[in-house]
Structure 1
Amino acid sequence: MAVTLKDDFAERARLEARLLARRRGGAALPLLDRPAGAEWHFAASLGQEGMWPSLATTARQPLIVGGLRVSGPLDTGALREAWQALAERHETLRSAYRRVDGALTQVVPVRARPVMDVALADPAAAASVADDELARPFDFGRGPLARLRVLRRASGEHLVVVCLHHLVGDARALEVVTTELTALYAGAVTGSPVQLPELPAQYADFAAWHRSRVEGEHGGRTVAYWLDRLAGAEPAALPCDRSQDPSDIAGHTRSFPLPPELFARLREVAARHRTTFYVVGLAAFQILLARWSGERDICVRAPVSYRDRSEVHGLVGDFSNDVVVRADLSGHVTLAEAVEQVRASTADDFAHHDVPPHVVASRMADPTLLERLFHVQFTAEREHDLGAARQLGPIRAEPFSPTAESVARPLSVRLRHDDHGGRVIVAYRSGLFSDERVRALQRDYFALFEEIAAHPGQPAVS
């Protein structure tokens, strides 16, 4: 099964286009029965089952928040009509989740009752949108696990905030929602209804197919791969300079632009190794952790997505997973050799991506190890593919992605770029890292980029 990086939208789109063409002649995804006029009960996905036990105790609900900045005369009635149509289209946008006879179950009501609130907000409200959403829990048993908020900031200025619980969405799902909501709104406000392409399947259909795959031979082979791959692994030592309670999720997100000349050098490195920015950025991050900690076996969490069937390309659902990418920097590995190692090992790791972590963890001698390996994360994405401003008659809608003053993991590094420049975003828990330490990490990270470009034969670690 093929895989793409969770946030690398451009590469994902190219891969999915190829897979769409390849799958057209293959077996269609089996569809579950849906009796007319009755509430539907479907088995939750394996990924949802793995997430469920932690939801009652986690300090930070896994929510996906984004939306649109709208300039012009927004018609909230038309927006409500569009949101209703979207909930009717995607079962996950109107579903609840309950234990039924001991099994986690997706409950799809006969009629959609989507949640949309309209409120006045301070003009600076965008800064706190993510924190505000995190403070508003969902009722899993009642549903839905999606909501829309319209914040009026000034005359003709609104924020349309989409919030999805991770049980029912991922980064791609947020794209689907904002894109289709925009199209449906345009149809509603003009009185010319938009006919979106019919969905060939729903998330519950994929969940049933995926479960049979993981519980079969494929799942057994994949679990065996990870048991071997992670034998002897230990969590990466974080370069903290504070020692507060590690469970305190308060944190910050800092963005550091890549100087143009350094960005150009990184492009050269990626071309030299016939690889991607992702691989170069990940290799440099793992080398940085090794240099700061003195360790040579470095494990990092890597979110991935597996929308590799044509039927699920446009679904609202959670198709994300997490794998561990592991680098062995012992011996006299050079910088160039480290990049090559990461290029090869990530290809193998991402080829074994589609078994949820809790399934692997249940087979490990220490079932808690996998989650502890996930405490440091790396991602990369192409920035210009996150969405562009759209003119919808008299209004202009521009996507936005708010950040929260709390973080899911102790340390995360994200490399965002387009064809002309890039930046590094660091999210960290303030009880473990001072701002000074994070700036030092950033300086060393950028210096390491320069070193990989100019002196590839130098030792990765001394």
Structure 2
Amino acid sequence: MSIATGDSLESRLLARMSKRTVDDRIKRVESPGGKPLSFAQRRLWFLDQLEPGSAEYVIPFGYAVEGALDLAALESAFSGLVARHEVLRTRFVTGEDGEPVQVVDGAWRVPVEVVDLRDVADEAERETRARAAVDAGVGGTFDLSSGRLLRVTVVRLADDRQLLAMAIHHIVADGWSVSVLTDELREFYTAALSGRAVELAELPIRYGDFALWQHEWLTPEREERQLGYWRESLAGIEPLELPTDRPRPLHRSGAGDAVTFRVGAEVAKGLQDIASAQGASLFMAGLAAFQVLLSRWSRQDDIAVGTPIAGRNRAEVENLVGFFVNTLVMRSDLTANPSFTDLLGQVRETALGAFGHQDLPFERIVEELAPERDLSRNALFQVMFALQNVPESAWTLPGLSIETIEVATHASKFDLTLFLTEQSDGSLDAEIVYSTELFDRATVDRLAGHYTRLLDAVVADPARPVGEFDVLTGAEREQVLRTFNDTTVPYEDDTTVTALFERQAARTPDATAVTFEGTRLTYAELNARANQLAHHLTDLGITAGDLVTVCLDRGTDMIVALLGVTKAGAAYVPLDPDYPAARLEFMLSDTRAPLVVTQSHLADRLPGTAAHVLIDADWDTIAAHADTDPVPQSGPQDLAYII
């Protein structure tokens, strides 16, 4: 998607930048051996080498066409476009030096694949098959070395009703190109119907000329000046860590979906007024609000968001089909909890600086600042924001009524992308395209709701610190403040911990109950050992209410001892074997415990005032007892332990 900036602050800035000297103009250059790929094309070519035939970078668009569509004229029109724009008949191949080059073939006749469903009587079946045909037409892959990166499908539903689907690879086109293609397709189609010559001005250059010029223009000196700005502005950038519904996959498939919503005209005007008062644009205000929301969701203060720009700031390329879009990174610092107006001022300066250094291809910034690539993430940013100032105009063909239709699924190259489009009534149409590998639709619905409520709050009080804006609904606030904090649950207050443990051992005897340094006891094993110790303690005279001290190293023996003492009806008194001898003697004397459960290597640390049960050395004797649950000797009201 490109940004149609209209008469915005950004467009005035770009217009000033586009006043180049004569020597800086792009010229036609013949290159029999092929021309280099533009920097943007090189990135897509490289990604295609990693995953050949990926459909992630295919641009689909489709239309419902009412009226008698002339298929011969349509095929002639598309073929005319291919003959006019070299990029549509360009192959991308590897040269002798291992570098990719563009090789332009001769014009080729574009075949229009026709799927005729007029004889399908059942309307529901016809619509289902039509949708499948459209999705197949736009969802297929392309071979970049074929030179045929445009595909057209017509689905005939009736004599005067059809669907027109087109797919084109991103390496030869962008959002702006789609407008060029549809405008010129109208002229080619009209000329074919009437048998007249096409009335289009000759193109001053070809896309290959732009790619060659781009490489020559970006001298080491210019590149270093541009890189210096981006090094400074993006130094120390960290990935945005939004809370996802699923772990991030090692490799992204691009699977996505979209949530649409609307920002009312009153709120949109209020946002525009706030921006104008700060010398900013609606784009900047919408971006600032989005960064506030991302900060709130991620709990991060350093927020970097990507934004696409058309990349057509030279008159020679305005009417060319090709891949010109560049990407800028907008970074904001919310550490000091600024007011929205202060943040907007920061975003304004960042945006103007970025626009002023837009000539450096994003791919070069990535190479310089992100040498270690993570295939699960995009380089430098994970979230994108775009504003289209002018709604897309309706496309027409002679004698036909045409309406845009949704085609295929939403590919998501990023975690999230927020698109805003200004409408003629002053409102904003909004769409969040999201990765379905990371987010559920309900999560993105909630994000969209938070964005609209944030905009409402910003318009009401732009001087308020951004951290104080309330984005929650009443139901969400109730959930956070009360539901999540209501930890009261029914609990059996007429039973004991040992009884609950015995129930669990009966339910899951083979489940792991405790592990320590490679030793593992199941619930059945732990319960049996604790039962044997309890029976042994009872034989030694321990009864309900007695105190038994436990002086053991950390490990499974300690858990057996604590359970065994409580199963015998006694209360345990834990002793730390690392305490000084005097401290241990005082605790034994103070509790008057008749028995100590300990280990043979710790016995000599304890005074001889109490009998010792050595849980390791005496285990053969202990294990001779029954491993069945003992008769309960204590209840919920009795003492469990003393510390």
2:237 alignment partner, SS class? coil
- Paired amino acid for 2:28: L
**Stretch of structure 1 that moved more, 429-438 or 315-324:** 429-438
Which structure 2 residues correspond to residues 334-373 of structure 1 after superposition, within 5 A? Answer: 334-364=339-369, 366-368=371-373, 371-373=378-380
Deviation sequence 1:1-35 (CA, Å, 0-9, x none): xxxx9322535996699579956977542211167
Asked whether the equivalents of residues 130 and 155 of structure 2 are also in contact (C-alpha less than 8 Å), the reply is no
Which of 104, 107, 125 does residue 108 from structure 1 map onto?
104
Please name the residue that 1:205 is paired with.
209
Which of 384, 387, 404 does residue 380 from structure 1 map onto?
387
Deviation, 1:332, is 3.3
Please name the residue that 2:396 is paired with.
390
Deviation, 1:302, is 1.0
Residue 29 (str. 1) matches residue 26 (str. 2) = yes
Q: Within 2, Cα distance between the matches of 1:145 and 1:409?
A: 24
Q: Within 2, Cα distance between the matches of 1:273 and 1:49?
A: 39
2:429 alignment partner, SS class? strand
Which structure 2 residues correspond to residues 196-235 of structure 1 after superposition, within 5 A? Answer: 196-235=200-239
Which of 143, 150, 172 does residue 147 from structure 2 map onto?
143
**Stretch of structure 1 that moved more, 422-431 or 178-187:** 422-431
Which structure 2 residues correspond to residues 44-443 of structure 1 after superposition, within 5 A? Answer: 44-58=37-51, 60-101=55-96, 102-120=98-116, 122-123=126-127, 131-133=135-137, 135-243=139-247, 245=249, 247-364=252-369, 366-368=371-373, 371-384=378-391, 386-390=392-396, 392=398, 394-400=399-405, 402=407, 404-420=409-425, 421-443=427-449
Q: Within 2, Cα distance between the matches of 1:75 and 1:298?
A: 51
Q: Within 2, Cα distance between the matches of 1:203 and 1:105?
A: 13
Q: Within 1, Cα distance between the matches of 2:179 and 2:44?
A: 22
Q: Within 2, Cα distance between the matches of 1:48 and 1:272?
A: 40
Q: Aligned residue pairs: how many?
A: 452
The 1:25–1:105 alpha-carbon spacing in structure 2 relative to 1, beyond 3 Å, is: closer
Q: Within 2, Cα distance between the matches of 1:359 and 1:262?
A: 39
Q: Within 2, Cα distance between the matches of 1:437 and 1:179?
A: 39
TM-score for the superposition, normalised by structure 2: 0.65
Residue 459 (str. 1) matches residue 458 (str. 2) = no
Asked whether the equivalents of residues 38 and 211 of structure 2 are also in contact (C-alpha less than 8 Å), the reply is yes
- Paired amino acid for 1:29: I
- Paired amino acid for 2:180: V
Which structure carries more relative contact order (alpha carbon 8 Å, separation 6+)? 1
The 1:249–1:86 alpha-carbon spacing in structure 2 relative to 1, beyond 3 Å, is: closer
Which structure 2 residues correspond to residues 3-22 of structure 1 after superposition, within 5 A? Answer: 6-8=2-4, 10-11=6-7, 22=19
Deviation, 1:142, is 1.7
Q: Within 2, Cα distance between the matches of 1:298 and 1:449?
A: 18
- Paired amino acid for 2:212: A
The 1:235–1:272 alpha-carbon spacing in structure 2 relative to 1, beyond 3 Å, is: same
Q: Within 2, Cα distance between the matches of 1:125 and 1:11?
A: 44
**Stretch of structure 1 that moved more, 279-288 or 12-21:** 12-21
Asked whether the equivalents of residues 173 and 316 of structure 1 are also in contact (C-alpha less than 8 Å), the reply is yes
Q: Within 1, Cα distance between the matches of 2:412 and 2:282?
A: 24
Asked whether the equivalents of residues 60 and 408 of structure 1 are also in contact (C-alpha less than 8 Å), the reply is no
**Stretch of structure 1 that moved more, 400-409 or 78-87:** 400-409
Deviation, 1:240, is 2.0
Q: Within 1, Cα distance between the matches of 2:370 and 2:260?
A: 39
- Paired amino acid for 1:93: L
TM-score for the superposition, normalised by structure 1: 0.89
The 1:261–1:390 alpha-carbon spacing in structure 2 relative to 1, beyond 3 Å, is: same
Q: Within 2, Cα distance between the matches of 1:302 and 1:44?
A: 23
Percent of counterpart pairs with the same letter? 29
Deviation, 1:96, is 1.0
- Paired amino acid for 1:374: F
Q: Within 1, Cα distance between the matches of 2:264 and 2:459?
A: 14
Deviation, 1:242, is 3.2
1:228 alignment partner, SS class? helix
Gaps of 5+ in 1: none
CA RMSD in angstroms comes to 2.8
**Stretch of structure 1 that moved more, 412-421 or 268-277:** 268-277
- Paired amino acid for 1:89: R
Asked whether the equivalents of residues 56 and 254 of structure 2 are also in contact (C-alpha less than 8 Å), the reply is no
The 1:112–1:379 alpha-carbon spacing in structure 2 relative to 1, beyond 3 Å, is: same
Deviation sequence 1:34-53 (CA, Å, 0-9, x none): 67xxxx62222222112211
Q: Within 1, Cα distance between the matches of 2:113 and 2:394?
A: 25
Deviation sequence 1:101-137 (CA, Å, 0-9, x none): 1121111113334343222364467866785356411
Deviation, 1:441, is 0.9
- Paired amino acid for 1:49: R
**Stretch of structure 1 that moved more, 135-144 or 367-376:** 367-376
- Paired amino acid for 1:371: N
- Paired amino acid for 1:94: R
2:439 alignment partner, SS class? coil
The 1:117–1:353 alpha-carbon spacing in structure 2 relative to 1, beyond 3 Å, is: same
Structure of greater Rg:
2
Gaps of 5+ in 2: 118-125, 469-643
Asked whether the equivalents of residues 236 and 300 of structure 1 are also in contact (C-alpha less than 8 Å), the reply is no
